[in-house]
Amino acid sequence: MSQPTPTAPTSPARQFLAESLRLTAFPSAPAELDPSGWWTQLVGSAPETSTSRPGRGELQEIGRVGTRNLLLSVLPGRIDWFFVPPQDAQGTDEPRRIGPLSDALSVFNALMSKWLQACPPMVRLAFGAVVNGARREQGCGLSQPLALSARRPTRPRRVSRFLLPDQSTSTIHRR
């Protein structure tokens, strides 16, 4: 009689669904920016829409990358790249998502790594992500995000309960 094969634990990044990812860059010389051509160099084709306000130093370009939208927003002193669901992804009351966090991060990381090799000098970079738990099990509210931010220098000490968006309560186990 064969024994069931144990399954490998799913990584926390696989258990979360991403709503959006963002890379924000603050250039060292904002007045010298020339973002024309960034999109085409990165994606290999022209954006679906492009809005430019040269007098204000603003540019916004949007287009598809696979099943997701990539948005470039350039403002004086700030450059944002957003990875978001396509605009036509309407429907239920559920949040629009770009897929499993690990998959979205893989594609976004490849794009941003390519851009960072050719981008102008920066004084600061920031990364942001909006993610949701793929499962609604007791205890999954805070234990998995802590695993994702393992390099965090301090953890909350006196937290014993965590209120989830659906108003249910889960117990938190400190490690």
Give the tens place of pLDDT for each residue, 41-87. Answer: 999 999 999 999 988 889 999 999 999 999 999 999 999 999 999 87
Question: Are 98 and 164 in a shared domain?
Answer: no
Model confidence at 16, pLDDT cuts 50, 70, 90, reads: confident
Question: Are 53 and 72 in a shared domain?
Answer: yes
Please list the alpha-helical segments (H only) found in the chain: 12-15, 38-43, 101-118, 140-148
Task: Give the residue-averaged pLDDT of 24-36.
Answer: 86
Query: Does residue 9 lie in a domain region?
Result: no
Question: Are 81 and 117 in a shared domain?
Answer: yes
- Which residue type sits at 171? T
Question: Are 28 and 51 in a shared domain?
Answer: yes
Question: Are 162 and 95 in a shared domain?
Answer: no
Range of the domain at 157: 135-175
**Total tally of structural domains belonging to the chain:** 2
Query: Does residue 112 lie in a domain region?
Result: yes
Question: Are 61 and 90 in a shared domain?
Answer: yes
Distance CA 143, CA 174 (A): 8
pLDDT, tens digit (0-9, with 9 covering 90-100), for 118-166:
888 999 999 999 988 755 544 444 444 434 443 434 443 433 343 434 4
